[in-house]
Amino acid sequence: MHPSQLIHPEDGWLDEPDAARVMRVAFTALLGLGIYGFTVGYWRDPWMGVFVAMKLPMLVALTLLCNALLNGLLGLLLGSGLGFRQSFFALLSAFALAGLILGSLAPVTLLLAWNAPPPDSPYANSSHAAYMVGHTLLIGIAGIAANLHLHRLLLARAPGPGVATATLLAWLGGNGFLGAQFSWILRPFFGAPGLEVQFLRDNPLRGNFYQTVWRSIDHITGGFGVPALSLIVLVLMIPVARAIQSHQHHIPKP
Amino acid sequence: MNPQTPRPPDLPAPEPSPQVPPVAPPPQLPPEEPLPEKPDIKCLLEALLRRPQALVPRLVDGANGASKRFLLVAVVSFLLFGLVVGCFAKHEQLWAAPLKITAGMLFAGIICFPSLYIFSTLAGARVAISQLAACLAGALALAGLLLLGFAPAVWIFAESTDSLGFMGALTLGSWIIALVFALRFLKSVIFASGGTENGPLVIWSMIFLLVTLQMTTSLRPILGRSEAFLTSEKKFFLQHWGDSMGDNLPSQSAPAGTPR
């Protein structure tokens, strides 16, 4: 499949997605995320690179499959005009675009891994921290691009921009909530310098992403976890509320 | 008005900025066919999700079996979701949680039904009791379907955490989201039947929500373990949640304790 087909999809992209098209898009996501994943883990160890190359597409696949019913129901109930297959395909297309962007950056991130101080050097900890920040930034950029793409796909089908935004936010909430827990289960991705190289940590299902984040916030703020978390939620809600409000203003009156 | 004030020159009518792209017209959807006289379960679910207003004329006729089909979908969905919730504590909760969740929802629906009829009539709807029963069954079926959508996520967390507070918040959050869509369906059907007032429906929705939340305490333990199937201790749900929020599931070898 030509990348431009995915980046600039034609008007009927979501209409009747056949198995061949779904497979092509899924393969693009697999390839892009796999190549990028290899460069993420490569700094710690080449085997870690192989593991992450498998785990990154697995993370997307597990999130999409586990939330397939919920995403389809939300798409229908919010009036996006998309059925179950189309909702799944829209989300898969967005993940494939993120994969495409990250895959295209893989040569750069491989060079970054190649040139970073190795995990057994005295600078390993600062190198690991910088490496994580760099990749988080890139994944964030790809995620934003993918969501804008998804919003465009939704706008082409939904009866109004408000519906498209509401559907996007509902999907984002559901997939983000479950995806974060899957990323916890499938850890490690970056591979801390002092820890063993493993495909999964021992007892991967033990523990919970949100409880760990909560404990960290509570620890960092010296027991003021509740006000700190409230502030974080408020800060995160402001752009969401503004996006909804601005879209409501743009809805044409009948 | 001050006569010295210079009158501003007449400005030409503002033209749309060339940078702002015109808003595309919404896509034209093909006209939808009316539902068949005796819709099958697939047809009913499709209408429930896509076009609830189309269901109204079909729900008038009690002989088409829509209520029974909706009720079947609701019961099966609640049982499956209950099984997933039971996976948190395992043991006796694998059968007790599905039973309690399903019974609790049906009981809440039955005891709130008389007030639904009164409040929907107050809202202006002209709806028969059998039609309203079918609507409520449809709303419960919709909530059940959404809970099934949440079930994989709930299962993942049920296998990952021991925190009763976290699992309680997750299952209640799922229920509240499902209920919001179910009540939205109910409202759209009542408005399609002539309802005009929102207030009575909002009040009834709050009552129904409170009843279902109290069910989580009256039928406890649902999440945690206990030697007793039900407890005789009376508690308000907020008090019970406050008491159990910080608790964890006891280790598998420990005996079951206070009902949660």
Residue B81 has pLDDT above 90, yes or no: yes
| Confidence label for A234 from pLDDT (cuts 50, 70 and 90) | confident
Residue B8 has pLDDT above 60, yes or no: no
pLDDT digits (tens, 9 = 90+) for B82-103: 999 999 988 888 999 999 999 9
State the average pLDDT over residues A237-251.
62
For residues B55-66, b (16+ Cβ closer than 10 Å) or e, as one string? bbebbeeeebbb
- Give the C-alpha separation, A130 to A136, whole Å: 10
A185 and B153 within 8 Å at the Cβ level: the answer is no
The residues on B that touch A, with CB distances below 8 Å, are 23-24, 26-27, 29, 49-50, 142, 145-146, 148-150, 152-153, 156-157, 159-161, 163, 166, 181, 184
pLDDT digits (tens, 9 = 90+) for A148-196: 889 989 988 888 888 999 999 999 999 999 999 999 999 899 888 888 8
pLDDT of residue B7: 45
B26 and A206 within 8 Å at the Cβ level: the answer is no
| Confidence label for A243 from pLDDT (cuts 50, 70 and 90) | low
pLDDT of residue B251: 66
Half-sphere exposure of B187 (CA within 13 A, CB side): 16
At residue B163, what are phi and psi to the nearest 5 degrees?
-80, 120
| Confidence label for B16 from pLDDT (cuts 50, 70 and 90) | very low
Contacts of the segment B118-121: beta carbons below 8 A, 24+ positions apart: B119/B200, B119/B201, B119/B203, B119/B204, B120/B190, B120/B193, B120/B195, B120/B200, B120/B201, B120/B204
Question: Quick one: closest CA in B to A250, which residue?
Answer: B23
Domain map (residue ranges) of chain A: 3-207
pLDDT digits (tens, 9 = 90+) for A142-153: 888 898 889 989
- Give the C-alpha separation, A199 to A56, whole Å: 12
Comparing CB atoms, the residue among B153, B159, B163 nearest residue A205 is B159
B153 and A174 within 8 Å at the Cβ level: the answer is yes
Residue B140 has pLDDT above 50, yes or no: yes
Residue B65 has pLDDT above 70, yes or no: yes
pLDDT of residue A102: 93
Burial category of A196 from C-beta neighbours within 10 Å (exposed 0-12, middle 13-18, buried 19 and up): exposed
- Give the C-alpha separation, B241 to A26, whole Å: 43
Comparing CB atoms, the residue among A160, A177, A206 nearest residue B26 is A160
Strand partners, B163: B248
pLDDT digits (tens, 9 = 90+) for A13-28: 888 788 999 999 999 9
- Give the C-alpha separation, B145 to B159, whole Å: 22
Residue A96 has pLDDT above 80, yes or no: yes
pLDDT of residue B258: 45
Going by C-alpha positions, the residue among A60, A152, A154, A71 that lies closest to residue A102 is: A60
Burial category of B214 from C-beta neighbours within 10 Å (exposed 0-12, middle 13-18, buried 19 and up): middle
Half-sphere exposure of A248 (CA within 13 A, CB side): 7
Residue B22 has pLDDT above 70, yes or no: no
pLDDT of residue B60: 67
Comparing CB atoms, the residue among A161, A178, A210 nearest residue B166 is A210
Interface test with A, best of B51, B150, B155, B163 (most A CBs within 10 A): B150
Residue B255 has pLDDT above 70, yes or no: no
pLDDT of residue B54: 78
Share above pLDDT 90 across residues of chain A, in percent, rounded to a whole number: 40
| Confidence label for A246 from pLDDT (cuts 50, 70 and 90) | low
Q: How far away is chain A from the Cα of B9, in angstroms, using its nearest Cα? A: 31
Neighboring chain B residues of A66 at a CB cutoff of 8 Å: 152-153, 156
pLDDT digits (tens, 9 = 90+) for B210-251: 999 988 888 888 888 877 788 877 778 888 888 888 888 876
Strand partners, B248: B163
Share above pLDDT 70 across residues of chain B, in percent, rounded to a whole number: 81
| Confidence label for A249 from pLDDT (cuts 50, 70 and 90) | low
CA distances to A18, A81, A85, A156, A196 from A14, rounded to whole Å, are 10, 11, 9, 9, 44
Comparing CB atoms, the residue among B24, B50, B152 nearest residue A66 is B152
pLDDT digits (tens, 9 = 90+) for A68-93: 999 999 999 998 889 899 999 999 99
Interface test with B, best of A62, A77, A181 (most B CBs within 10 A): A77
- Give the C-alpha separation, B81 to B147, whole Å: 6
For residues A98-113, b (16+ Cβ closer than 10 Å) or e, as one string? bbbbbbebbeebbebb
Classify A200 in phi/psi space as left (phi over 0), alpha (psi -120 to 50) or beta. Answer: beta
| Confidence label for B31 from pLDDT (cuts 50, 70 and 90) | low
Reported ipTM: the value is 0.70
Comparing CB atoms, the residue among B23, B163, B181 nearest residue A250 is B23
Question: Which amino acid does the sequence have at B144?
Answer: G
For A244, other C-beta atoms within 10 Å of its C-beta total 14
Residue B9 has pLDDT above 50, yes or no: no
Residue B252, helix vs strand vs coil: coil
